[in-house]
Structure 1
Amino acid sequence: MWSAYGGFTLDAMGVQLYAFILPTLLGLWGLSGSRASTLAAAALLAGAVGGWAAGSLSDRIGRVRILRVTIAWLAVSTAFCGLANSYNEFLIARIIQGVGFGAEWAVGAVFLGEVAAPAARGRTIGAVQSAWATGWLFAAATTSLALWLLPANLGWRAVFFIGLLPAIWIFCLRMRLHEAVDHGRSARVASWHGIFARPMIGRTVRGTLLATGTHGGYWALATWWPAMLRIERKMSLGQSTVYFAALVGGSFVGYYLSGWVSDRYGRRVTLATFASGGVATVLATTLLPLSPVAFLILSACLGLFALGIYSSVGAVLIELFPRQLSGSGLGFCYNLGRGLAGVGPLAVGSSIGSMGIAHSIGLYVTVAYALVLLATVLLPETRGSELGTMAAPG
Structure 2
Amino acid sequence: MSTTRTEPSEGGRREAADDTGALGWLRALGPRGRRAFGGAFGGYALDSYDYFTLPLGMVAIAAHFGLDNGQTGLLTTVTLVVSAVGGVLAGILADRTGRVKALMITVMTYAVFTVACGFAPNYETLLVFRALQGLGFGGEWAVGAILVAEYASAKHRGRTLGAVQSAWAAGWALAVIVYTLVFHFLDDDMAWRVLFWTGALPALLVVHVRRNVSDAPEAAAKRAAAAERGSFSAIFRPGLLRTTLFATLLSTGVQGGYYTLATWVPTYLKTERGLTVVGTGGYLAFLISGAFIGYLTGGHLTDRIGRKRNIALFAVLSACGILAYTSIPAGSNELLLVLGFPLGFCMSAIFSGFGSFLSELYPTAVRGTGQGFTYNSGRAVGAFLPALVGFLSDSWGVGGALVLGAAGYGLAVVALLGLPETRGRELL
TM bucket (normalised to shorter chain) is over 0.9
Task: Tell me which moved more, 324-333 or 307-316.
Answer: 307-316
- Aligned to 1:341, which of 365, 376, 382? 382
- Counterpart CA distance in 1 for 2:100 and 2:391 is 41
- Aligned to 2:238, which of 190, 198, 201? 198
Query: Match for residue 288 of structure 2?
Result: 248
Paired residues for 1:374-389 under 5 Å: 374-388=414-428
- Aligned to 2:347, which of 306, 309, 324? 306
| CA-CA distance at 1:187 after TM superposition | 5.0
- Counterpart CA distance in 2 for 1:10 and 1:165 is 7
- Counterpart CA distance in 2 for 1:163 and 1:144 is 15
Match of 1:23, SS? Answer: helix
How far does the alpha carbon of each residue in 1:330-361 deviate from its partner, in whole angstroms, 9 at most, with x for none?
A: 00000000100111111101111221101110
- Counterpart CA distance in 1 for 2:380 and 2:119 is 25
Cα gap change, 1:293 to 1:196, in 2 (>3 Å): same
Query: Match for residue 314 of structure 2?
Result: 274
- Counterpart CA distance in 1 for 2:227 and 2:267 is 46
- Counterpart CA distance in 1 for 2:208 and 2:290 is 32
Paired residues for 1:87-236 under 5 Å: 87-180=123-216, 181-182=219-220, 183-186=223-226, 188=228, 191-236=231-276
Q: Which has the higher helix share?
A: 1
- Give 1 or 2 for the bigger CA radius of gyration: 2
| CA-CA distance at 1:35 after TM superposition | 0.9
In structure 1, the gaps of 5 or more residues are: 389-394
Cα gap change, 1:189 to 1:82, in 2 (>3 Å): closer
- After superposition, the CA RMSD in angstroms is 1.3
| CA-CA distance at 1:28 after TM superposition | 1.7
Q: Which has the higher contact order (CA 8 A, sep 6+)?
A: 1
Q: Is contact 1:59–1:186 with CA below 8 Å preserved after alignment?
A: no
Query: Match for residue 392 of structure 1?
Result: none
- Counterpart CA distance in 1 for 2:379 and 2:311 is 17
| CA-CA distance at 1:178 after TM superposition | 1.5
TM-score by length of 2: 0.88
How far does the alpha carbon of each residue in 1:313-341 deviate from its partner, in whole angstroms, 9 at most, with x for none?
A: 22211111111111000000000001001
In structure 2, the gaps of 5 or more residues are: 1-36
Q: Is contact 1:47–1:102 with CA below 8 Å preserved after alignment?
A: yes
Q: Is contact 2:328–2:335 with CA below 8 Å preserved after alignment?
A: no
Task: State the one-letter code of the partner of 1:74.
Answer: Y
| CA-CA distance at 1:170 after TM superposition | 3.8
Tell me, yes or no, if structure 1 residue 351 matches structure 2 residue 351.
Answer: no
TM-score by length of 1: 0.95
- Counterpart CA distance in 1 for 2:225 and 2:113 is 33
Between the two proteins, what is the percent identity of the paired residues? 38
Task: State the one-letter code of the partner of 1:229.
Answer: L
Number of residue pairs matched by the alignment = 387
| CA-CA distance at 1:305 after TM superposition | 0.7
Task: Tell me which moved more, 63-72 or 284-293.
Answer: 284-293
Q: Is contact 1:58–1:327 with CA below 8 Å preserved after alignment?
A: yes
